[in-house]
Amino acid sequence: MRGAALSDELSAAAALCGQRDQRLTEPRRRVLELLLAEGQPMKAYDLMAAFGAAGQAAKPPTVYRALDFLEKQGLAHRIESLNAFVACRRGPVTHSAAFLICDCCGLTAEIEPGKGQEVTDLGAHSGFQVQSLTIEAHGLCKACQV
Ligand SMILES: [Zn+2]
Ligand SMILES: [Zn+2]
């Protein structure tokens, strides 16, 4: 994603944060911008390296704090098995997420997990408050199956 679509997405994210009395500060905005521009999972290391427009790297805490914020706002997901982060454009609220991850080319797609609500409900049943749920499915994408 780039150009107008990217700026629109960033404005929408800033507005969303505003509604929640949160601020999409410059570092948070920059990390989200990088994730949206990439469109695929990125490692924190790569985010640090790409952070400065003039090529200067960011300090690790800057990027980690920004990622933490974006995750809490439902604007990004952490993909544990890839040790990477990806922008989320599916919904304004924190939601359970599922990823289809191609082990051959690395292509990753987010899908809506059907069972997400069920896990949350079952948790609530036993007095457990589910705050995040991420399903990571590994396999081969269509193009890599041939
Ligand atoms: Zn998502
Ligand atoms: Zn593939």
Tens digits of per-residue pLDDT, 81-126?
A: 999 999 997 765 667 889 999 999 999 999 988 778 888 899 999 9
Distance 82 CA to ligand 2 centre (A): 15
Helix (H), strand (E), coil (C) string for the chain: CCHHHHHHHHHHHHHHHHHCCCCCCHHHHHHHHHHHHHCCCECHHHHHHHCCCCCCCCCHHHHHHHHHHHHHCCCEEEEHHHCEEEECCCCCCCCCEEEEEECCCCCEEEECCCCHHHHHHHHHHCCCCCCCCEEEEEECCHHHHC
Q: Is the pLDDT of residue 128 over 80?
A: yes
Looking at residue 104, its amino acid is: C
Side-chain-side CA neighbours of 47 within 13 Å: the count stands at 31
Confidence category of residue 145, pLDDT binned at 50, 70, 90: very high
Distance 4 CA to ligand 1 centre (A): 22
Neighbouring-strand partners of residue 79: 84
The pLDDT assigned to 93 comes to: 67
Q: Is the pLDDT of residue 141 over 70?
A: yes
Distance 95 CA to ligand 1 centre (A): 6
Confidence category of residue 11, pLDDT binned at 50, 70, 90: very high
pLDDT in tens, 54-66: 878 899 999 999 9
Which domains occur in the chain, in start order? Answer: 3-87 (1.10.10.10), 97-145 (3.30.1490.190)
Distance 117 CA to ligand 2 centre (A): 29
Distance 54 CA to ligand 1 centre (A): 30
- The residue assigned the tokens 């980690």 is 64
Distance 128 CA to ligand 1 centre (A): 22
> What Rg, from alpha-carbon coordinates, does the chain have?
16
Distance 106 CA to ligand 2 centre (A): 6
Question: Span 66-73, mean pLDDT?
Answer: 93
pLDDT in tens, 23-55: 999 999 999 999 999 999 999 999 999 999 787
Confidence category of residue 4, pLDDT binned at 50, 70, 90: very high
Q: Which ligand has the minimum distance to the alpha carbon of residue 143?
A: 2
Distance 70 CA to ligand 2 centre (A): 27
